[in-house]
Structure 1
Amino acid sequence: MDKTLFITGASSGIGAATARAAVSASWRVGLFARSKDKLDALAKSLGSKATALPGDATDLDSQHSAMKTFANETGGIDAAFANAGMGLSAAGTDAGDPGEWEQMIRLNILGVLWTVKAAMPYLKERKGHLLLTGSAAGRRHISGSVYGASKWFVHGYGGNLSEEMKSFGGRCTVVAPGMVDTPFFDTPKPDKLQPEDVADAVMHALNADPRCAVNEIFLMPTQ
Protein backbone atom coordinates (compact mmCIF):
# COMPACT_ATOMS: atom_id res chain seq x y z
CA MET A 1 0.00 0.00 0.00
CA ASP A 2 1.32 3.46 -0.89
CA LYS A 3 2.23 5.75 1.98
CA THR A 4 0.29 8.99 2.30
CA LEU A 5 1.39 12.58 2.87
CA PHE A 6 -0.88 15.57 3.62
CA ILE A 7 0.69 18.92 2.61
CA THR A 8 -0.49 22.43 3.52
CA GLY A 9 0.52 25.34 1.32
CA ALA A 10 0.61 22.80 -1.49
CA SER A 11 -0.41 24.98 -4.44
CA SER A 12 3.04 26.40 -5.24
CA GLY A 13 6.66 26.68 -4.12
CA ILE A 14 7.92 24.23 -1.51
CA GLY A 15 4.55 22.51 -1.10
CA ALA A 16 4.11 21.80 -4.81
CA ALA A 17 7.74 20.66 -5.19
CA THR A 18 7.31 18.30 -2.25
CA ALA A 19 4.15 16.89 -3.75
CA ARG A 20 5.98 16.16 -7.01
CA ALA A 21 8.90 14.53 -5.17
CA ALA A 22 6.59 12.41 -3.04
CA VAL A 23 4.54 11.18 -6.00
CA SER A 24 7.77 10.32 -7.82
CA ALA A 25 8.62 8.16 -4.81
CA SER A 26 5.20 6.45 -4.98
CA TRP A 27 3.55 8.32 -2.12
CA ARG A 28 -0.05 9.47 -2.34
CA VAL A 29 -0.46 13.15 -1.55
CA GLY A 30 -3.27 15.30 -0.20
CA LEU A 31 -2.88 18.84 -1.53
CA PHE A 32 -4.27 21.48 0.83
CA ALA A 33 -4.33 25.24 0.11
CA ARG A 34 -6.82 28.03 -0.53
CA SER A 35 -6.30 28.24 -4.29
CA LYS A 36 -8.65 25.63 -5.76
CA ASP A 37 -7.64 26.34 -9.37
CA LYS A 38 -3.92 25.88 -8.66
CA LEU A 39 -4.57 22.74 -6.62
CA ASP A 40 -6.73 21.22 -9.32
CA ALA A 41 -4.06 21.92 -11.96
CA LEU A 42 -1.33 20.42 -9.79
CA ALA A 43 -3.39 17.36 -8.93
CA LYS A 44 -4.17 16.82 -12.61
CA SER A 45 -0.48 17.00 -13.49
CA LEU A 46 0.37 14.46 -10.77
CA GLY A 47 -2.30 11.95 -11.73
CA SER A 48 -4.15 9.43 -9.60
CA LYS A 49 -1.79 9.68 -6.61
CA ALA A 50 -2.83 13.28 -5.85
CA THR A 51 -6.01 14.63 -4.26
CA ALA A 52 -6.88 18.33 -4.29
CA LEU A 53 -8.28 19.44 -0.93
CA PRO A 54 -9.05 23.19 -1.01
CA GLY A 55 -9.18 24.82 2.40
CA ASP A 56 -7.87 27.47 4.77
CA ALA A 57 -4.93 26.50 7.00
CA THR A 58 -6.02 29.06 9.62
CA ASP A 59 -9.32 27.20 10.09
CA LEU A 60 -9.09 24.08 12.28
CA ASP A 61 -12.40 22.69 11.01
CA SER A 62 -11.20 23.07 7.41
CA GLN A 63 -8.06 21.05 8.18
CA HIS A 64 -10.03 18.42 10.08
CA SER A 65 -12.42 18.03 7.14
CA ALA A 66 -9.66 17.82 4.52
CA MET A 67 -7.72 15.20 6.47
CA LYS A 68 -10.83 13.15 7.06
CA THR A 69 -11.58 13.19 3.32
CA PHE A 70 -8.00 12.22 2.48
CA ALA A 71 -7.85 9.46 5.09
CA ASN A 72 -11.20 8.04 3.97
CA GLU A 73 -9.98 7.99 0.37
CA THR A 74 -6.57 6.46 1.08
CA GLY A 75 -7.10 4.43 4.26
CA GLY A 76 -5.03 6.66 6.55
CA ILE A 77 -2.31 9.29 6.84
CA ASP A 78 1.36 8.42 7.33
CA ALA A 79 2.76 11.95 7.36
CA ALA A 80 1.65 15.58 7.46
CA PHE A 81 3.69 18.57 6.32
CA ALA A 82 2.74 21.88 7.96
CA ASN A 83 4.22 24.04 5.24
CA ALA A 84 1.77 26.95 4.78
CA GLY A 85 3.20 30.29 5.83
CA MET A 86 3.62 33.96 4.97
CA GLY A 87 6.07 36.79 5.45
CA LEU A 88 5.58 40.50 6.11
CA SER A 89 5.74 43.53 3.84
CA ALA A 90 7.50 45.68 6.45
CA ALA A 91 10.54 44.47 8.39
CA GLY A 92 11.14 45.09 12.06
CA THR A 93 8.87 46.15 14.90
CA ASP A 94 8.70 49.93 14.70
CA ALA A 95 7.79 49.91 10.98
CA GLY A 96 5.60 46.81 11.23
CA ASP A 97 1.86 46.58 10.65
CA PRO A 98 0.01 45.00 13.62
CA GLY A 99 -2.82 43.89 11.35
CA GLU A 100 -0.35 42.06 9.13
CA TRP A 101 1.28 40.54 12.22
CA GLU A 102 -2.05 39.11 13.26
CA GLN A 103 -2.57 37.53 9.82
CA MET A 104 0.90 36.04 9.92
CA ILE A 105 0.51 34.64 13.43
CA ARG A 106 -2.77 33.01 12.43
CA LEU A 107 -1.01 31.21 9.58
CA ASN A 108 2.58 30.69 10.75
CA ILE A 109 1.69 29.66 14.29
CA LEU A 110 -1.99 28.73 14.59
CA GLY A 111 -2.00 27.15 11.13
CA VAL A 112 0.84 24.86 12.22
CA LEU A 113 -0.96 24.00 15.45
CA TRP A 114 -4.14 23.17 13.54
CA THR A 115 -2.28 20.87 11.14
CA VAL A 116 -0.68 19.03 14.04
CA LYS A 117 -3.91 18.81 16.01
CA ALA A 118 -5.89 17.49 13.04
CA ALA A 119 -3.19 15.04 11.97
CA MET A 120 -2.22 13.55 15.31
CA PRO A 121 -4.98 10.91 15.60
CA TYR A 122 -4.09 9.54 12.16
CA LEU A 123 -0.35 9.60 12.86
CA LYS A 124 -0.77 7.70 16.12
CA GLU A 125 -2.35 4.85 14.18
CA ARG A 126 0.71 4.50 11.90
CA LYS A 127 3.66 5.71 13.99
CA GLY A 128 3.59 8.63 11.62
CA HIS A 129 5.72 11.66 10.83
CA LEU A 130 5.15 15.39 11.19
CA LEU A 131 7.18 17.86 9.14
CA LEU A 132 7.21 21.61 9.78
CA THR A 133 8.65 24.35 7.59
CA GLY A 134 10.97 26.37 9.77
CA SER A 135 13.48 28.93 8.54
CA ALA A 136 17.02 30.18 8.93
CA ALA A 137 15.23 33.19 10.42
CA GLY A 138 14.14 30.94 13.28
CA ARG A 139 17.72 29.98 14.13
CA ARG A 140 19.28 33.42 14.58
CA HIS A 141 18.38 36.88 15.83
CA ILE A 142 17.34 39.45 13.23
CA SER A 143 16.72 43.05 14.25
CA GLY A 144 13.08 43.38 15.33
CA SER A 145 11.90 40.49 13.15
CA VAL A 146 8.37 39.41 14.01
CA TYR A 147 8.46 36.91 11.13
CA GLY A 148 11.65 35.41 12.54
CA ALA A 149 9.97 35.11 15.93
CA SER A 150 7.13 33.13 14.37
CA LYS A 151 9.69 30.68 13.02
CA TRP A 152 11.41 30.47 16.41
CA PHE A 153 8.06 29.16 17.60
CA VAL A 154 8.08 26.51 14.88
CA HIS A 155 11.57 25.35 15.85
CA GLY A 156 10.74 25.20 19.56
CA TYR A 157 7.41 23.50 19.00
CA GLY A 158 8.97 21.00 16.61
CA GLY A 159 11.43 19.93 19.28
CA ASN A 160 8.61 19.57 21.80
CA LEU A 161 6.63 17.49 19.31
CA SER A 162 9.60 15.19 18.79
CA GLU A 163 9.52 14.45 22.51
CA GLU A 164 5.74 13.97 22.60
CA MET A 165 5.65 11.69 19.57
CA LYS A 166 8.20 9.29 21.06
CA SER A 167 5.32 7.90 23.13
CA PHE A 168 3.87 6.19 20.06
CA GLY A 169 6.96 5.77 17.88
CA GLY A 170 6.29 8.88 15.78
CA ARG A 171 8.77 11.46 14.55
CA CYS A 172 8.87 15.20 13.88
CA THR A 173 11.24 17.06 11.56
CA VAL A 174 11.72 20.81 11.16
CA VAL A 175 13.06 21.66 7.71
CA ALA A 176 14.78 25.04 7.97
CA PRO A 177 15.81 26.67 4.69
CA GLY A 178 17.52 29.95 4.07
CA MET A 179 16.23 32.05 1.17
CA VAL A 180 14.27 29.98 -1.36
CA ASP A 181 13.29 31.10 -4.85
CA THR A 182 9.50 30.92 -4.50
CA PRO A 183 6.48 33.24 -4.95
CA PHE A 184 7.10 34.22 -1.29
CA PHE A 185 9.34 36.92 -2.83
CA ASP A 186 8.24 39.58 -5.31
CA THR A 187 11.35 39.17 -7.49
CA PRO A 188 13.07 35.94 -8.62
CA LYS A 189 16.04 34.65 -6.60
CA PRO A 190 17.67 32.23 -9.08
CA ASP A 191 20.96 32.04 -7.15
CA LYS A 192 19.24 30.94 -3.93
CA LEU A 193 17.77 27.60 -2.88
CA GLN A 194 15.13 26.10 -5.14
CA PRO A 195 11.89 24.52 -3.85
CA GLU A 196 13.20 21.14 -5.01
CA ASP A 197 16.11 21.44 -2.55
CA VAL A 198 13.65 21.67 0.33
CA ALA A 199 11.52 18.88 -1.11
CA ASP A 200 14.62 16.66 -1.22
CA ALA A 201 15.19 17.38 2.48
CA VAL A 202 11.60 16.44 3.30
CA MET A 203 11.95 13.14 1.45
CA HIS A 204 15.25 12.44 3.20
CA ALA A 205 13.54 12.77 6.57
CA LEU A 206 10.58 10.65 5.51
CA ASN A 207 12.82 7.93 4.12
CA ALA A 208 15.09 7.68 7.16
CA ASP A 209 15.08 4.30 8.90
CA PRO A 210 12.44 4.20 11.68
CA ARG A 211 15.26 3.99 14.24
CA CYS A 212 16.48 7.43 13.09
CA ALA A 213 14.68 10.63 14.09
CA VAL A 214 15.79 13.45 11.82
CA ASN A 215 14.83 16.32 14.12
CA GLU A 216 16.05 19.21 11.97
CA ILE A 217 17.49 19.81 8.51
CA PHE A 218 19.11 23.21 7.99
CA LEU A 219 19.64 24.31 4.39
CA MET A 220 21.47 27.38 3.14
CA PRO A 221 22.27 28.63 -0.38
CA THR A 222 25.94 28.55 -1.29
CA GLN A 223 25.70 32.10 -2.71
Structure 2
Amino acid sequence: MTKTLFITGASSGIGAATARAAAKAAWNVSLLARSKDKLDEIAEEIGDRALAIECDVTDRAAVEAAVGTTVETFGALDAVFANAGTGTSKAGVEQGDPDEWHTMIHLNIMAVLYTAHAALPELRKTKGHFIVTGSKAGRDHLKGSVYGATKWFVHGFAGNLAEEMREWNGRCTVISPGMVDTPFFEEPKPGKLQPEDIADAVVFALGQRETSAIREIHLMPND
Protein backbone atom coordinates (compact mmCIF):
# COMPACT_ATOMS: atom_id res chain seq x y z
CA MET A 1 0.00 0.00 0.00
CA THR A 2 1.32 3.44 -0.94
CA LYS A 3 2.27 5.59 2.03
CA THR A 4 1.46 9.29 2.48
CA LEU A 5 3.74 12.17 3.49
CA PHE A 6 2.34 15.51 4.71
CA ILE A 7 4.71 18.45 3.96
CA THR A 8 4.45 22.02 5.25
CA GLY A 9 6.28 24.83 3.48
CA ALA A 10 5.96 22.80 0.29
CA SER A 11 5.71 25.55 -2.33
CA SER A 12 9.45 26.09 -2.85
CA GLY A 13 12.95 25.19 -1.69
CA ILE A 14 13.33 22.21 0.64
CA GLY A 15 9.62 21.43 0.79
CA ALA A 16 9.15 21.34 -2.97
CA ALA A 17 12.31 19.27 -3.47
CA THR A 18 11.15 16.82 -0.83
CA ALA A 19 7.74 16.49 -2.48
CA ARG A 20 9.41 15.54 -5.75
CA ALA A 21 11.85 13.13 -4.11
CA ALA A 22 9.16 11.43 -2.02
CA ALA A 23 6.85 11.04 -5.00
CA LYS A 24 9.73 9.51 -6.96
CA ALA A 25 10.15 7.07 -4.07
CA ALA A 26 6.47 6.08 -4.49
CA TRP A 27 4.96 8.17 -1.67
CA ASN A 28 1.75 10.15 -1.91
CA VAL A 29 2.42 13.75 -0.92
CA SER A 30 0.10 16.27 0.69
CA LEU A 31 1.51 19.74 0.04
CA LEU A 32 0.78 22.71 2.31
CA ALA A 33 1.69 26.38 1.88
CA ARG A 34 0.01 29.73 1.52
CA SER A 35 1.07 30.06 -2.15
CA LYS A 36 -1.70 28.13 -3.89
CA ASP A 37 -0.44 28.87 -7.41
CA LYS A 38 3.00 27.44 -6.67
CA LEU A 39 1.50 24.41 -4.94
CA ASP A 40 -0.75 23.73 -7.91
CA GLU A 41 2.23 23.82 -10.27
CA ILE A 42 4.16 21.30 -8.18
CA ALA A 43 1.11 19.07 -7.76
CA GLU A 44 0.47 19.12 -11.50
CA GLU A 45 4.10 18.22 -12.14
CA ILE A 46 3.94 15.26 -9.72
CA GLY A 47 0.54 14.02 -10.81
CA ASP A 48 -1.98 11.83 -9.00
CA ARG A 49 0.32 11.24 -6.04
CA ALA A 50 0.07 14.91 -5.01
CA LEU A 51 -2.58 16.91 -3.15
CA ALA A 52 -2.24 20.71 -2.91
CA ILE A 53 -3.78 22.37 0.16
CA GLU A 54 -3.62 26.14 0.63
CA CYS A 55 -2.97 26.55 4.34
CA ASP A 56 -1.54 29.01 6.85
CA VAL A 57 0.17 26.59 9.23
CA THR A 58 0.07 29.14 12.07
CA ASP A 59 -3.74 28.63 12.01
CA ARG A 60 -4.34 25.56 14.18
CA ALA A 61 -7.82 24.88 12.82
CA ALA A 62 -6.53 25.08 9.26
CA VAL A 63 -3.77 22.55 10.01
CA GLU A 64 -6.27 20.19 11.62
CA ALA A 65 -8.52 20.49 8.56
CA ALA A 66 -5.58 19.81 6.24
CA VAL A 67 -4.70 16.62 8.13
CA GLY A 68 -8.33 15.54 7.80
CA THR A 69 -8.41 16.27 4.08
CA THR A 70 -5.18 14.34 3.58
CA VAL A 71 -6.49 11.24 5.36
CA GLU A 72 -9.81 11.49 3.53
CA THR A 73 -8.00 11.69 0.18
CA PHE A 74 -5.27 9.08 0.64
CA GLY A 75 -6.72 6.85 3.37
CA ALA A 76 -4.03 7.29 6.03
CA LEU A 77 -1.14 9.45 7.19
CA ASP A 78 2.24 7.74 7.48
CA ALA A 79 4.69 10.62 7.85
CA VAL A 80 4.90 14.37 8.35
CA PHE A 81 7.63 16.79 7.34
CA ALA A 82 7.16 20.01 9.35
CA ASN A 83 9.34 22.18 7.18
CA ALA A 84 7.74 25.63 7.12
CA GLY A 85 9.89 28.34 8.69
CA THR A 86 11.22 31.86 8.35
CA GLY A 87 13.90 34.22 9.62
CA THR A 88 14.15 37.94 10.32
CA SER A 89 15.54 40.88 8.39
CA LYS A 90 17.50 42.27 11.36
CA ALA A 91 20.08 40.33 13.32
CA GLY A 92 20.66 40.54 17.04
CA VAL A 93 18.47 41.33 20.00
CA GLU A 94 19.05 45.03 20.61
CA GLN A 95 18.52 45.94 16.95
CA GLY A 96 15.91 43.25 16.31
CA ASP A 97 12.27 43.80 15.43
CA PRO A 98 9.89 42.30 18.02
CA ASP A 99 7.08 42.20 15.46
CA GLU A 100 9.26 40.03 13.24
CA TRP A 101 10.08 37.84 16.24
CA HIS A 102 6.37 37.36 16.85
CA THR A 103 5.78 36.22 13.27
CA MET A 104 8.86 34.00 13.25
CA ILE A 105 8.11 32.33 16.57
CA HIS A 106 4.58 31.51 15.47
CA LEU A 107 5.85 29.88 12.27
CA ASN A 108 9.07 28.25 13.52
CA ILE A 109 7.66 27.04 16.83
CA MET A 110 3.87 27.17 17.12
CA ALA A 111 3.25 25.84 13.60
CA VAL A 112 5.48 22.85 14.37
CA LEU A 113 3.51 22.21 17.55
CA TYR A 114 0.17 22.61 15.77
CA THR A 115 1.29 20.21 13.05
CA ALA A 116 2.45 17.61 15.54
CA HIS A 117 -0.69 17.93 17.66
CA ALA A 118 -2.97 17.51 14.64
CA ALA A 119 -1.00 14.68 13.05
CA LEU A 120 -0.06 12.46 16.00
CA PRO A 121 -3.44 10.70 16.33
CA GLU A 122 -3.14 9.63 12.69
CA LEU A 123 0.56 8.77 12.96
CA ARG A 124 -0.18 6.60 15.99
CA LYS A 125 -2.49 4.48 13.79
CA THR A 126 0.29 3.85 11.26
CA LYS A 127 3.26 3.81 13.67
CA GLY A 128 4.34 6.77 11.62
CA HIS A 129 7.20 9.21 11.39
CA PHE A 130 7.42 12.94 12.26
CA ILE A 131 10.28 14.86 10.63
CA VAL A 132 11.07 18.50 11.31
CA THR A 133 13.52 20.99 9.83
CA GLY A 134 16.04 22.13 12.38
CA SER A 135 19.30 23.93 11.61
CA LYS A 136 22.98 24.19 12.39
CA ALA A 137 21.79 27.35 14.16
CA GLY A 138 19.91 25.08 16.54
CA ARG A 139 23.14 23.32 17.54
CA ASP A 140 25.50 26.30 17.87
CA HIS A 141 25.35 29.54 19.84
CA LEU A 142 25.19 32.40 17.34
CA LYS A 143 25.62 35.97 18.57
CA GLY A 144 22.19 37.46 19.31
CA SER A 145 20.33 35.06 16.99
CA VAL A 146 16.66 34.88 17.89
CA TYR A 147 16.17 32.72 14.79
CA GLY A 148 18.78 30.33 16.17
CA ALA A 149 16.91 30.21 19.47
CA THR A 150 13.75 29.05 17.66
CA LYS A 151 15.76 26.24 16.11
CA TRP A 152 17.16 25.28 19.51
CA PHE A 153 13.53 24.80 20.50
CA VAL A 154 12.95 22.63 17.43
CA HIS A 155 15.91 20.39 18.25
CA GLY A 156 14.82 20.01 21.87
CA PHE A 157 11.23 19.37 20.92
CA ALA A 158 12.21 16.75 18.35
CA GLY A 159 14.17 14.80 20.93
CA ASN A 160 11.32 14.95 23.42
CA LEU A 161 8.76 13.98 20.78
CA ALA A 162 10.93 11.05 19.70
CA GLU A 163 10.70 9.68 23.24
CA GLU A 164 6.91 10.15 23.28
CA MET A 165 6.44 8.48 19.89
CA ARG A 166 8.74 5.63 20.83
CA GLU A 167 6.07 4.41 23.25
CA TRP A 168 4.00 3.28 20.26
CA ASN A 169 6.83 2.49 17.84
CA GLY A 170 6.66 5.85 16.09
CA ARG A 171 9.75 7.81 15.08
CA CYS A 172 10.85 11.45 15.08
CA THR A 173 13.79 12.89 13.16
CA VAL A 174 15.22 16.40 13.06
CA ILE A 175 16.96 17.38 9.83
CA SER A 176 19.75 19.82 10.70
CA PRO A 177 21.33 21.56 7.70
CA GLY A 178 23.92 24.26 7.42
CA MET A 179 23.37 26.93 4.78
CA VAL A 180 20.99 25.80 2.03
CA ASP A 181 20.55 27.54 -1.33
CA THR A 182 16.85 28.43 -1.02
CA PRO A 183 14.65 31.57 -1.34
CA PHE A 184 15.34 32.05 2.39
CA PHE A 185 18.37 34.05 1.19
CA GLU A 186 18.14 37.10 -1.07
CA GLU A 187 21.15 36.03 -3.16
CA PRO A 188 21.80 32.56 -4.64
CA LYS A 189 24.21 30.30 -2.75
CA PRO A 190 25.21 27.81 -5.47
CA GLY A 191 28.17 26.42 -3.53
CA LYS A 192 26.10 25.57 -0.47
CA LEU A 193 23.72 22.71 0.26
CA GLN A 194 20.95 22.31 -2.29
CA PRO A 195 17.28 21.61 -1.46
CA GLU A 196 17.69 18.21 -3.09
CA ASP A 197 20.36 17.33 -0.50
CA ILE A 198 17.86 17.87 2.28
CA ALA A 199 15.13 16.04 0.37
CA ASP A 200 17.40 13.01 0.01
CA ALA A 201 18.03 13.07 3.77
CA VAL A 202 14.28 13.07 4.46
CA VAL A 203 13.68 10.15 2.11
CA PHE A 204 16.62 8.29 3.67
CA ALA A 205 15.17 8.73 7.16
CA LEU A 206 11.76 7.57 5.96
CA GLY A 207 13.27 4.49 4.36
CA GLN A 208 14.77 2.98 7.49
CA ARG A 209 13.70 -0.44 8.69
CA GLU A 210 11.36 -0.69 11.68
CA THR A 211 14.28 -1.52 13.97
CA SER A 212 16.06 1.76 13.20
CA ALA A 213 15.10 5.26 14.33
CA ILE A 214 17.33 8.04 13.04
CA ARG A 215 16.93 10.88 15.55
CA GLU A 216 18.99 13.52 13.70
CA ILE A 217 20.65 14.05 10.33
CA HIS A 218 23.16 16.89 10.32
CA LEU A 219 24.32 18.10 6.90
CA MET A 220 26.92 20.71 6.07
CA PRO A 221 28.04 22.24 2.74
CA ASN A 222 31.06 20.53 1.28
CA ASP A 223 32.82 23.73 0.07
TM-score (norm 2): 0.99
Question: Structure 2: where are the runs of 5+ without partners?
Answer: none
Tell me the residue number matched to 1:154: 154
3-state DSSP of counterpart to 1:93: coil
Alpha-carbon shift at residue 107 of structure 1 (Å): 0.2
| Aligned-pair Cα RMSD in Å | 0.4
2:89 pairs with 1:85: no
1:57 & 1:144 partners in 2: Cα distance?
27
Instruction: Tell me the distance in 1 between the aligned counterparts of 2:179 and 2:17.
Output: 16
TM-score normalised according to structure 1 size? 0.99
SS at match of 1:94: coil
Deviation sequence 1:99-134 (CA, Å, 0-9, x none): 000000000000100110010010000000000000
Match of 2:173 in 1: 173
Give distance in 1, aligned partners of 2:113 and 2:129.
15
| 1:95 shift after superposition | 1.0
Matches of 1:196 and 1:34 in 2, distance apart? 22
Alpha-carbon distance in structure 2 between the residues aligned to 1:121 and 1:44: 29
Other-structure match for 1:113: 113
Structure 2 CA distance for aligned equivalents of residues 209 and 92 of structure 1: 42
1:191-202 to 2 correspondence within 5 Å?
191-202=191-202
Matched, 1:38 2:38: yes
Alignment-derived partner of residue 139 in structure 2: 139
CA distance in 2: counterparts of 1:119 and 1:80, whole angstroms: 8
Counterpart-to-counterpart distance in 1, 2:171 and 2:222: 29
Q: Name the structure 2 match of 1:222.
A: 222
- 3-state DSSP class of the match of 1:173? strand
Q: How many pairs does the alignment contain?
A: 223
Q: What per-residue deviation string (whole Å, max 9, x for no partner) do you get for residues 165-206 of structure 1?
A: 011100000000000000000000000000000000001100
Counterparts of residues 68-79 of structure 1 (less than 5 Å): 68-79=68-79
Other structure's SS at 2:174 match: strand
Q: Summarize deviations over 1:115-157 as a string: whole Å, max 9, x none.
A: 1001001000000000000000000000010000000000000
Regions of 4+ moved over 6 Å: none
Deviations 1:47-95 (A, max 9, x none): 0000001100101111110110010111110001100000110111111
The residue type paired with residue 131 of structure 2 is L
The alignment status of 1:61 with 2:61, answered yes or no, reads yes
Structure 2 residue matching 1:48: 3-state secondary structure: coil
- 2:103 corresponds to: 103
d(CA) in 1 for partners of 2:211, 2:161: 17
1 CA distance for matches of 2:14 and 2:61?
Answer: 24
2-structure distance, mates of 1:24, 1:127: 22
Aligned to 2:183: 183
Tell me the percent identity. Answer: 60
